[in-house]
Chains A and B, each alone.
Chain A
């Protein structure tokens, strides 16, 4: 009982703080936070790739980074509130994100469906499976970037 109560309070706290952060942040701050989140994600991807090409992969590091990817795949659904497109400042996020919400949601869903498979592959300690899942997950990233991210300057 106390445990579930603790959990409920904990969850409520997390939700409340997420809401608070979402409302407290200015659009520009949200953009910057988003940028940092994706940079963390990029680092996690590189770390996974590094390990899969190493002669003896470090599965602890792999799991840590696959979890970062997995969390990001869920969290990213909160990273694009309305008003944080190019109108709020320099960003590669394209207006179509908000103009075609159904398409964008489908693109995000592809990522959140593939990321757990990457984590599962890491937990199975099968390097070839990790490589294959990495490619799949990377494909989800590319799929969304091709449509909803402006090319690099």
Chain B
């Protein structure tokens, strides 16, 4: 008989909306890239609208969502980031100060990217984002060029994000990917306080807000 090794209890880290948004972003950014590369612009527009809705929801969730999704909870200054790098940081559910930078940068870049897409016009004036009707052909072309360039920056950041996560998974033995799937992570004793959920009402409010705003934008503000 061997004594069962007590596995450390797993603490709730991410709620369902945060995880779902994360993986939908992975899916849709990939789909957007593919549809643009293969000239399927109708699908690309729909993918972009969905991404717009997800970004709006995530920003709202960063203000009104579960504790670990909130910006005020994880966005930290340079001192905290330096402190973290020097090892003076105790793990709690949520982003660490350095990872927070990645979240903010990715989300900001994605928001910029989606907005540029809304104004973009193709070289033939045939395919365009819904808000291009408010700008000149030249401005729409400029938006399209920026849309392409920003995608390269976004890709680089995504790559950095993946490399960083892999570093934590393989070298620091923290199962970050699994945590983003099932929402829980093991912590050494003493156990930190788990994530605090947000109410279903807040969730529904966020969904309605994201869908309504996206619909309004996709219709070029014409109800």
Give the interface of A toward B (CB within 8 A): 38, 41-47, 49-50, 53-55, 138, 141-142, 145-146, 152
Given that A50-B133, A54-B133, A55-B222 are contacting pairs, would A44 and B126 also be in contact in the complex, using a CB cutoff of 8 Å?
no
In this complex, how many residues of chain B approach chain A with their Cβ under 8 Å: the count is: 15
Q: Does B214 contact A (CB under 8 A)?
A: no
Write 22 A-B pairs (CB below 8 A) sorted by A numbering: A42-B121, A42-B126, A42-B137, A43-B137, A45-B125, A46-B128, A46-B137, A46-B140, A47-B125, A49-B125, A49-B126, A50-B132, A53-B133, A53-B222, A138-B124, A138-B126, A138-B127, A141-B124, A142-B126, A145-B124, A146-B39, A152-B123
**B220 x A53 contact (CB < 8 A):** yes
How far apart are A10's CB and chain B's nearest CB, in angstroms? 32
A-B pairs, 4 with minimum CB distance: A45-B125, A46-B125, A42-B125, A138-B126
**Per-position 1/0 for B210-223, Cβ under 8 A of A:** 00000000001010
Besides A41-B124, A47-B125, 15 new A-B residue pairs in contact (Cβ under 8 A), listed by A number: A41-B125, A42-B126, A43-B137, A45-B125, A46-B121, A46-B137, A46-B140, A50-B133, A53-B220, A54-B133, A55-B222, A142-B39, A142-B126, A145-B124, A146-B39
Given that A46-B137, A54-B133, A55-B222 are contacting pairs, would A141 and B123 also be in contact in the complex, using a CB cutoff of 8 Å?
no
**Nearest-CB residue, chain A, relative to B138:** A43
How far apart are B222's CB and chain A's nearest CB, in angstroms? 5
**Per-position 1/0 for B126-154, Cβ under 8 A of A:** 11101011000100100000000000000
How far apart are B3's CB and chain A's nearest CB, in angstroms? 64
**Nearest-CB residue, chain A, relative to B133:** A50
**B123 x A42 contact (CB < 8 A):** yes
How far apart are A85's CB and chain B's nearest CB, in angstroms? 19
**B133 x A141 contact (CB < 8 A):** no
**B222 x A49 contact (CB < 8 A):** no
**A43 x B133 contact (CB < 8 A):** no
**A49 x B137 contact (CB < 8 A):** no
How far apart are B193's CB and chain A's nearest CB, in angstroms? 51
List the B side residues contacting A42 at CB < 8 Å.
121, 123-126, 137
How far apart are A46's CB and chain B's nearest CB, in angstroms? 4
**Nearest-CB residue, chain A, relative to B132:** A46
How far apart are B29's CB and chain A's nearest CB, in angstroms? 21
List the A side residues contacting B126 at CB < 8 Å.
42, 45, 49, 138, 141-142
List the B side residues contacting A146 at CB < 8 Å.
39
**Nearest-CB residue, chain B, relative to A44:** B125
**Nearest-CB residue, chain A, relative to B121:** A46
**B133, B220, B222, most chain A CB atoms within 10 A:** B133
How far apart are A89's CB and chain B's nearest CB, in angstroms? 18
List the A side residues contacting B39 at CB < 8 Å.
142, 146
List the B side residues contacting A45 at CB < 8 Å.
124-126
Give the CA-CA distance A46 to B127 in the complex, in Å: 8
Give the CA-CA distance A138 to B124 in the complex, in Å: 9
Give the CA-CA distance A142 to B127 in the complex, in Å: 10
Give the CA-CA distance A46 to B126 in the complex, in Å: 6
List the A side residues contacting B137 at CB < 8 Å.
42-43, 46
How far apart are B190's CB and chain A's nearest CB, in angstroms? 58
Give the CA-CA distance A42 to B128 in the complex, in Å: 11
Give the CA-CA distance A152 to B126 in the complex, in Å: 15
Give the CA-CA distance A44 to B125 in the complex, in Å: 7
**B130 x A53 contact (CB < 8 A):** yes
**B124 x A49 contact (CB < 8 A):** no
